[in-house]
Amino acid sequence: MLVLQATPQGSGSVCPGRRRECGFTLLELMVAVAVVGIVAAIGYPSMTAIISNSRVGGAANEMVATLQLARLEAVRLNRTITVCRSVDGVSCSAGAVWNSWITVADVDRDGAVDDILRVSNVPAAVQLTASPVIQNSRIAFRSDGLAHATGGSLLNAWVAVCVPTGGPLDNQRRISIGAGSRISTRSESRGGQCSAPGIL
138, pLDDT greater than 70: yes
Helix (H) or strand (E) holding 185: strand 182-188
Judged by average pLDDT, the poorest of 17-26, 66-75, 133-142, 171-180 is 17-26
Bigger pLDDT: 200 vs 5: 5
Would you say 170 and 195 are in contact if contact means Cβ atoms under 8 Å apart? no
Mean pLDDT (the chain, rounded): 76
Q: Could you please report the per-residue DSSP string of 99-160?
A: SEEEEEEETTSSSS--EEEEEEE--TT-EEEE-TTSGGGEEEE-TTS-BB-TTSPBP-EEEE
Per-residue confidence (pLDDT) for residue 57, from 0 to 100? 82
Tell me the average pLDDT across 50-54: 75
**pLDDT attached to residue 2:** 47
Q: Compute how many other C-beta atoms are within 10 angstroms of the C-beta atom of residue 77.
A: 15
Bigger pLDDT: 49 vs 30: 30
Q: Between the CA of residue 197 and those of 19, 45, 121, 200, what are the distances in Å? A: 72, 28, 18, 8
pTM summary value: 0.68
CA gap 171, 162 in Å, rounded: 6
| Mean pLDDT within 88-107 | 81
Which of 3 and 125 is assigned the larger pLDDT?
A: 125
